[in-house]
Structures are given as C-alpha cells and as structure tokens.
C-alpha cells in the first residue's frame, strides 16, 4: 500500500529534510515513527529537500508498506510518536504511480522579511530582519524578471550532487507588505538548491539600491555559475507552502 502524507514542520532544530548520518532530520524522524508504529523499515520520499532551519506548511511525501492500518489510524499513530514540531496534516492512500517528487507539477515557497526596528521575539524563527528601508517597487520589478523559463545556474548553490538541468520555470512571483512584514511568494515547476533564498537575497540588494532590476535578467541570460553578487538569504524566513499534483 502506498501512503501519501502532507506534512508541516518547524525546521529550526533540524539539519534539513534529508536523512544524514549522525544528524537530526525531518525524514529521519518520520521514518523512525513509521517503524515504531508498524515494525517495518520504510523509505520516505519527499517532494523536495528543505535545508537546515527551513520550515514547511505543506510538504508532501510517500512511502510503501504492507499494513492493514487505515490512513486515519496511521495519521494519529504517527503524530502520537513524532515530536511536536513535526505534524502529519493528512494521510491518504495513493495510486502506485504517484510519486511525491516526480509527479509534482508545481510548488510554492514563501519567504518573510521583517523590515522594521524591533522584531517581535515570537517571529524570530520565521522571519528575517532587514533594518534598512527596502524599495517595494524596485523589488517587484526585479521579481517580474524571474518569471518564465530560465537557466537559474546563477541562483543555485553547489548541491554537491549531479544536477541534470538548471532550467526551471517560475510561473508567479509576488511581493506583498503588511505592516513591517514583507512576504515573497514564488511558484514554479521546481527549484534548485538554495534557489529561492538566492532570488530573495538578490531582491534585497535591489531593494537597497545596490543592484538594478535589470541585473537579474543579465544574470539569467549569462548562464554562469553563481558569484558573491548573489547572496543567499538566511533560512529561517523560508517555508515550503504547498505542492500541487
């Protein structure tokens, strides 16, 4: 039986999604909870790998197992064994051709900045403070330049693994402001290692007047490897919001 899970987690205390020897990870915690529930070792396949400190509101994963448990009983059993900063939001049966990563057709990430004087303590793990004023109009003009199909090589950190293609399509990229909080919403058919954080990092430079929006197009067109001119925004402001199939 193939189970599909929708998962939310606070990534603060974890070394990212993917299992790593000697490190505490989201995938590792859930696989351990499944084994404790069913006495079977399974491989959990996620829709994507989030980094250390990155959160999720709608991560999706699947696993195969021989069991008579219903999705509802699996849901409650796993949540009873997982730490409180990881929660299975839903568990359903999936068709055998469903794959959390390969059959996903789009994802949305959200990144939150606090552009003000004093960051509320309860927001410190979920928003990144930027003290200097940001030009919203310039950042929106910059975000528009990311939309479309491009080679995002200049906005990817080295994943230390082979990447078949650095071409991705961004279908929408919006920036909104409420009080001192600025939210970047980006949706696309897939994302490279640290791509969203790199795009936001560049837009912060644009918002500070350190780069012009046109510079983004130049970087996309040159298809060169990332340089120090493209900073990576800190992880805690980033959340994997939703995955579509």
Residue environment code for 202-218, b if the CB has 16+ CB neighbours within 10 A, otherwise e: bbbbbbeeebebebbee
Q: Up-side HSE of residue 93: CA atoms within 13 Å toward CB?
A: 8
Same structural domain, 233 and 181: yes
- Check residue 189 and give its pLDDT: 96
Same structural domain, 117 and 60: no
- Pairwise CA distance, residues 20 & 6, whole Å: 22
Same structural domain, 119 and 158: yes
User: Would 74 be classed as within a structural domain?
Assistant: yes
Same structural domain, 77 and 192: no
Same structural domain, 129 and 55: no
- Check residue 205 and give its pLDDT: 98
Same structural domain, 71 and 186: no
User: Would 164 be classed as within a structural domain?
Assistant: yes
Same structural domain, 196 and 144: yes
The tally of domains found in the chain comes to 2
Same structural domain, 90 and 147: no
- Domain end: 94, 116, 135, which one? 94
User: Would 101 be classed as within a structural domain?
Assistant: no
Q: What is the mean pLDDT of each run of 10 residues along the chain (245 residues)?
A: 98 97 97 98 97 97 97 98 98 97 97 97 98 98 98 88 90 98 97 96 98 96 85 97 98
Same structural domain, 160 and 65: no
Only one residue has tokens 């012009």, namely: 212
- Check residue 142 and give its pLDDT: 98
User: Would 180 be classed as within a structural domain?
Assistant: yes
Report residue 153: phi and psi, to 5°: -55, -40
User: Would 18 be classed as within a structural domain?
Assistant: yes
- Check residue 134 and give its pLDDT: 98
CATH number at residue 70: 3.30.70.580
- Check residue 182 and give its pLDDT: 98
CATH number at residue 234: 3.30.70.660
Same structural domain, 207 and 127: yes
pTM of the predicted protein model: 0.95
- The terminus-to-terminus CA distance of the chain in angstroms comes to 19
- According to DSSP, the residues that pair with 63 across neighbouring strands are 3
Would you say 85 and 29 are in contact if contact means Cβ atoms under 8 Å apart?
A: no
User: Would 23 be classed as within a structural domain?
Assistant: yes
- Domain end: 94, 117, 138, which one? 94
Active site residue 97: no
- Domain end: 59, 94, 129, which one? 94
Torsion of CA 91, 75, 191, 178, to 10 degrees: 110
Q: How is the chain classified by DSSP, letter by letter?
A: -EEEEEEEE-GGGSS-SS--TTS--HHHHHHHHHHHHHS-----EESS---TT-EEEEEEEEEE------HHHHHHHHHHHS-TTEEEEEEEEE-TT--TTTT--EEEEEEEEE-SSS--GGGTTT-EE--S---HHHHHHHHHTT-EEEE-GGG----SS--S--EEEEEEEEEEEETTEEEEEEEES---TTHHHHHHHHHHHHHTTSS-THHHHHHHHHTPPP-TTSPPPPGGGEEEEEEE-
Same structural domain, 84 and 16: yes
- Pairwise CA distance, residues 39 & 54, whole Å: 30
Determine which one of 51, 85, 97, 151 is catalytic: 51
User: Would 62 be classed as within a structural domain?
Assistant: yes
- Check residue 162 and give its pLDDT: 78
Q: Which domain holds residue 52?
A: 2-94
- Check residue 227 and give its pLDDT: 81
User: Would 99 be classed as within a structural domain?
Assistant: no
- Check residue 224 and give its pLDDT: 81
Same structural domain, 26 and 135: no
Only one residue has tokens 């970047």, namely: 184
């Amino acid at each position: 039986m193939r189970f599909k899970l929708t998962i939310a987690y606070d990534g603060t205390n974890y070394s990212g999604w993917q299992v790593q020897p000697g490190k505490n990870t989201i995938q590792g915690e859930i696989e351990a909870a499944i084994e404790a529930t069913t006495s079977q070792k399974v491989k959990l396949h996620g829709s994507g790998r989030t980094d250390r400190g990155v959160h999720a509101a709608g991560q999706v994963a699947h696993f195969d197992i021989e069991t008579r448990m219903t999705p509802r009983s699996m849901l409650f059993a796993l949540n009873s064994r997982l730490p409180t900063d990881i929660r299975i939001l839903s568990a359903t049966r999936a068709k055998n051709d469903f794959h959390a990563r390969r059959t996903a057709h789009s994802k949305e990430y959200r990144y939150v900045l606090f552009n003000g004087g004093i960051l509320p303590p309860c927001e410190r793990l979920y928003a990144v403070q930027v003290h200097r004023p940001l030009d919203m109009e310039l950042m929106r003009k910059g975000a528009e330049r990311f939309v479309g199909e491009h080679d995002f090589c200049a906005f990817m950190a080295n994943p230390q693994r082979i990447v078949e293609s650095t071409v991705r399509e961004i279908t929408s990229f919006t920036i909104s402001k409420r009080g001192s909080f600025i939210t970047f919403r980006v949706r696309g058919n897939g994302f490279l290692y640290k791509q969203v954080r790199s795009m936001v990092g560049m837009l912060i430079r644009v918002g500070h007047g350190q780069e012009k929006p046109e510079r983004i197009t130049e970087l996309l067109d040159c298809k060169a490897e990332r340089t120090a001119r493209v900073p990576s925004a800190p992880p805690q402001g980033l959340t994997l919001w939703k995955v579509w199939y």
